[in-house]
Structure 1
Amino acid sequence: MHRLGPCSDSAASFASKLLRRPRRAGMDPIAVQCRLQENSVVHRRRLADGLSSHASRHAARRRHRGQTDRCSSAHFHGGGLKGHVRGNEAILRHLSMDSTMARHRFGISPDFLIIAAAILGSSAVMLGESVATLALPSIGRTLQVPFSSLQWVVDGYNLTLASCILFGGSLGDLMGLRRVYLWSAGAFLALSLICALAWSGLTLILFRSLLGVAGALLTPVSLAVLNAQLPKYMRSRAIAYWTAATSIVLAIGPLLGGYLVDLFSWRAIFLFNVPLVFIAMVIGYAALDKAPTRRGIGIDWSGAILAFLFLGGITFGLIEGPANGWPATAIAAIVAGVVCFGAFVWWQRHASHPLVDLALFRNRNFSATNAATLLLYAAFGGFGFLFSYFLQTVAGFSATAAGAAFLPVSVMLGLGSGQVGKYSSRLGPRWFMGVGPLFCAAGMLALVSLGRDTTYLAGVLPGVMLFGVGLTLTVAPLTATALNSAPDKKSGVASAINNGLASAGPLIVIALLGLGGLEHAYVLGVWICVVLAAIAGLISLVFVRGAPVGSPT
């Protein structure tokens, strides 16, 4: 047991007072202990804050007398700033205070900072995908690359994101969410800068693929901290706030990204994400609880390789096949991808530490929600790729105007997701997840006739509004149900599975877009996305149970 000297005396006094008060009120101390245990996250954080504040004052008095005291708030939190801190942590130590001291000094709720860290980490990865689609016409003109290479600019990122995201979830459970969050955010920042220096289509695809690996580590831990470090009764509401805030970021991001493309070049879109990631690192360093490395959890390297091979093989075949007249290599890649998928499923059943815990899928809500996630995000990703590209190349919109086209959707998400999250936690997610995708399908169908004479108010806005209503009804309940359907100790893996499927869906659909040729890609692609969204809604209506999620326990 770690000794705190006088700190431990105050802790014992404080705890004894807590247990004596209910006795005078006629309550059983055992019942009091049970009540404290039910809300352990909140009580541990409050107790730690109070003790570390006391410890800091005690350390200051002893330092004034020329003595050395190791009972600092950093040491209290499991080791804190031990020895010399290298790399990014050395910079962050000068820019941010110890987490407990910062919370006390600025009066910021620890839960608020945890939610902020989740929002910023997820937003950076989302912007890495969405903003790139706005720059595709500019990238094609500047680097002189064909449409199939532009598909790879997006799908190279999606491929590594989808295939490594399961590995990221396991790594977070093994090494601690805070540690993986900071490492992956630092890598994402550095690779964003490197992408801006790409000098050819091949180097941009390579750097974007590496950026996807960093995003694959950052995404699951960003969402998992909400499930692992917040009280259970707050999680659905926190996810609703996460949805609203990321929607606002995604509203500003494409608009600003399109403006930077028009004003400077496509390289600027990789630079404006850098400050966001840096702020995420500072808040994550200050807010997230440090967890020790967990022993006994292995990394499924074979599963990670098989996941990359099956997604990569199918994607390569579907992109390169139509572009090159279906050579034998493209067909062989698809066949190999399918074989690797079968091997992946078999291995997950027999591995001692699988990437995908197939036992999670025995939960009906978890299975249905993740099936809906795969189909729905496939529709979203494919439609976003098509809509942004053809709005510029066919309808003649500038990159700024194309970025602003979906601004109403983000505004609706930002304003409505909190309320939707609140009502879905009370009434259950079923109807929200069932009706929302049908609105999205109707909105995409209204935009299928995009042409050279299309105007925004008459030809684009009505479909965008329908799409926004559907998205607002769907996203917060979908994410909350996926996370709440898994036990707390599996939060990292559950988040990784959900995010992996959300990334794999667009990967396959974008690869399919070249099947009918470039001249038919938009109409064919929109119809594929409409069907996928409608199926996702029907799956939710039929299979998702209507019980409220995230209710207090």
Structure 2
Amino acid sequence: MASLSSTQRLVVSIAVLASFVTFLDGTVVNVALPAISEELGGGISTQQWVVDAYLITLSALILLAGSLSDAYGRVLIMRIGLIAFGVASVAVAAAPDPLVLIIARAAQGAAGALLVPSSLALITATMRGPVQAHAIGVWTAFTTAAQLVGPLMGGLFVDFLTWRLVFLINVLPIAVNLFLLGRLRLPEHPRGAKVDWFSGILCAAGLGALVFALIEQPRLGWSSPAIWLPLVGGITMLAGFLLRQARVPHPLMPLDMFRVRNFGWGNLATLFIYAALSLNGFVVVVYLQQGAGLGATEAGLASLPITILMILLSSRAGAWAGKYGPRIFMTVGPILMGLGALLLLTVGIEFNYWWQVLPSMLVMGLGLSITVAPLTAAILGSIDESRSGIASAVNNAVSRVAGLLVVAMISTIVGGMLDLAGFHSAAIVTAVLMIAGGLVSWIGIRRNPVEADAAEVGA
């Protein structure tokens, strides 16, 4: 971080910690799902809801949070989000039954929605060009590591303590970040409270209804009114949301941003790549416990090679993308991850982690390391600083919606049961989604003019 000023280093630290708690909590739950199901009851449907209740509010409200960040100031919104996230985490840990747990998880997601766009917006508002790419690389390394180390930490808590403590892991980073926020002296210029609350309600209700239909469909069937009515209602509300964005003066998701080449194509690539990451993260951790018979800690350790590679390479990949442009990295990285997913087809009835899973983790870790920082820099670097909050929110919303929908469809993807055949089906779908993300990047991504100019000056 030698190229960053002291204020910029503080900004990156705050952004990392704020996003860390959100991403950690989004993934740490996967390894705890079997233990939660065993104690509180419920099968794969309850497990899906524990994950998706968080993602529904995070995905839907992150757009609203992006507007709030620009309207009221990033530091204020982040401070509110941190406090609310801590309170919701305690409620999750104390949940006596699945319903309370799911409601508390939804509250966590709502609080998390306030954190991610405001954290990245702090970076994009204070840095540009190669410095911004380097900072985003650092942010990516640590926040993605949070997503990947989550299963390991969760496994240790599940095996040796209790799954309930898994949700209190973030208390310390929340406290530290509140302290750092008090030290940050950053001039902000809030634009006023012009926030489209009705659009936020349409988006949240539409996603919730759609996800309900997708999760419960294997149990009730498409012909059930309890399925097709929410499905039609959800699609209608989401269509209304998009139509409203084209007409209101201050939209939550300004559609004109998608006319910016890297922003539009980059978000399409994000949709494919993060759907694949969410599918793989859910299926691998749960199958290794329920199918391969590993303990929670062992299942969490399975993804450790990805974490190590992310920490070692992400910052460097961000700097490379600032120098050479993001297109090649966003193409090669997802295709590598797709090949890594196909290596999981070697998993058989006679399970061996070292020969059947580790090669996949190494290849996927390499691909992920060279993808995420260039992807983030390409998308956010293409949008003017004055709209950095909403740009960050839109990109994060796309990634969370991708994960939300694919988790809702897991029962369909695996054929109703996460056995060996279902695991192989999920690996194939993961590979197809990853390769699609790489091809979309090759077709659509170009170098941002600001990055090109900065690179020429640096040369």
**Shorter-chain TM-score: which interval?**
over 0.9
Please state if 1:113 is matched with 2:3.
no
Tell me the equivalent position of 1:426.
323
**2:416 pairs with one of 496, 517, 520:** 517
**1:481 pairs with one of 378, 381, 386:** 378
Deviation at 1:271, TM superposition (A): 1.1
Deviation at 1:233, TM superposition (A): 4.5
* Distance across 2 between alignment mates of 1:456 and 1:337: 41
**1:153 pairs with one of 34, 37, 50:** 50
* Distance across 1 between alignment mates of 2:12 and 2:53: 29
- Rg: which structure is higher? 1
* Distance across 1 between alignment mates of 2:258 and 2:162: 45
Deviation at 1:309, TM superposition (A): 2.2
- How many residues were matched structurally? 446
* Superposed CA RMSD: 1.7
* Distance across 2 between alignment mates of 1:446 and 1:303: 42
- Residues 130 and 322, structure 2, Cα contact 8 Å, conserved in 1: no
Tell me the equivalent position of 1:303.
199
- Residues 435 and 470, structure 1, Cα contact 8 Å, conserved in 2: yes
Residue type of the alignment partner of 1:301: W
- Residues 30 and 151, structure 2, Cα contact 8 Å, conserved in 1: no
* Distance across 1 between alignment mates of 2:451 and 2:121: 15
Residue type of the alignment partner of 1:404: L
> Structure 1 pair 506/252, CA: closer, same or farther in 2 (3 Å)?
closer
> Secondary structure in 2 aligned to 1:454?
coil
> Secondary structure in 2 aligned to 1:116?
helix
> Secondary structure in 1 aligned to 2:120?
helix
- Residues 412 and 472, structure 1, Cα contact 8 Å, conserved in 2: yes
- Residues 176 and 290, structure 1, Cα contact 8 Å, conserved in 2: no
> Structure 1 pair 251/379, CA: closer, same or farther in 2 (3 Å)?
closer
* Distance across 2 between alignment mates of 1:383 and 1:245: 20
- Unpaired segments ≥5 residues, structure 1: 1-41, 43-107
Tell me the equivalent position of 2:98.
201
Deviation at 1:285, TM superposition (A): 2.4
* Distance across 2 between alignment mates of 1:521 and 1:156: 23
Tell me the equivalent position of 2:275.
378
* Distance across 1 between alignment mates of 2:44 and 2:240: 32
> Secondary structure in 2 aligned to 1:145?
coil
* Distance across 1 between alignment mates of 2:434 and 2:254: 26
> Structure 1 pair 449/316, CA: closer, same or farther in 2 (3 Å)?
farther
Give 1:67-466 correspondences, 5 Å limit.
Answer: 109-287=6-184, 289=186, 291-295=188-192, 297-326=193-222, 327-466=224-363
> 1:69-88: CA deviations, max 9, x gaps?
xxxxxxxxxxxxxxxxxxxx
- Residues 57 and 113, structure 2, Cα contact 8 Å, conserved in 1: yes
Deviation at 1:261, TM superposition (A): 0.8
- Residues 323 and 514, structure 1, Cα contact 8 Å, conserved in 2: no
- Following superposition, which runs of at least 4 residues in structure 1 exceed 4 angstroms of deviation? none
* Distance across 2 between alignment mates of 1:535 and 1:395: 29
> 1:16-48: CA deviations, max 9, x gaps?
xxxxxxxxxxxxxxxxxxxxxxxxxx9xxxxxx
- Residues 245 and 252, structure 2, Cα contact 8 Å, conserved in 1: yes
**2:430 pairs with one of 510, 516, 529:** 529
Deviation at 1:251, TM superposition (A): 4.8
* Distance across 2 between alignment mates of 1:417 and 1:252: 15
Structure 1, 240-249 or 414-423: larger mean CA deviation: 240-249
Deviation at 1:455, TM superposition (A): 1.4
> Structure 1 pair 263/548, CA: closer, same or farther in 2 (3 Å)?
farther
Deviation at 1:231, TM superposition (A): 5.0
> 1:95-140: CA deviations, max 9, x gaps?
xxxxxxxxxxxxx911111100000111110011110001000001
Residue type of the alignment partner of 1:341: L
> Structure 1 pair 547/167, CA: closer, same or farther in 2 (3 Å)?
closer
Identity of aligned residues (%): 37
* Distance across 2 between alignment mates of 1:435 and 1:150: 33
> Secondary structure in 1 aligned to 2:252?
coil
Deviation at 1:284, TM superposition (A): 2.1
* Distance across 2 between alignment mates of 1:523 and 1:231: 43
Asked which structure has the greater RCO (Cα within 8 Å, sep 6+), the reply is 2
Residue type of the alignment partner of 2:90: L
> Secondary structure in 1 aligned to 2:356?
helix
Tell me the equivalent position of 1:539.
440
> 1:500-523: CA deviations, max 9, x gaps?
001000110011111221145433
- Residues 333 and 438, structure 2, Cα contact 8 Å, conserved in 1: yes
> 1:319-355: CA deviations, max 9, x gaps?
0111223322111211112212221111100011100
> Structure 1 pair 449/548, CA: closer, same or farther in 2 (3 Å)?
farther
Residue type of the alignment partner of 2:432: V
Deviation at 1:290, TM superposition (A): 5.1
* Distance across 2 between alignment mates of 1:355 and 1:366: 16
> 1:384-413: CA deviations, max 9, x gaps?
011110011001111111111111111111
Tell me the equivalent position of 1:493.
390
* Distance across 1 between alignment mates of 2:34 and 2:323: 45
Deviation at 1:304, TM superposition (A): 0.7
- Residues 167 and 300, structure 1, Cα contact 8 Å, conserved in 2: yes
- Residues 416 and 472, structure 1, Cα contact 8 Å, conserved in 2: yes
* Distance across 1 between alignment mates of 2:395 and 2:450: 17
Deviation at 1:377, TM superposition (A): 0.4
- Unpaired segments ≥5 residues, structure 2: none
Deviation at 1:278, TM superposition (A): 1.4
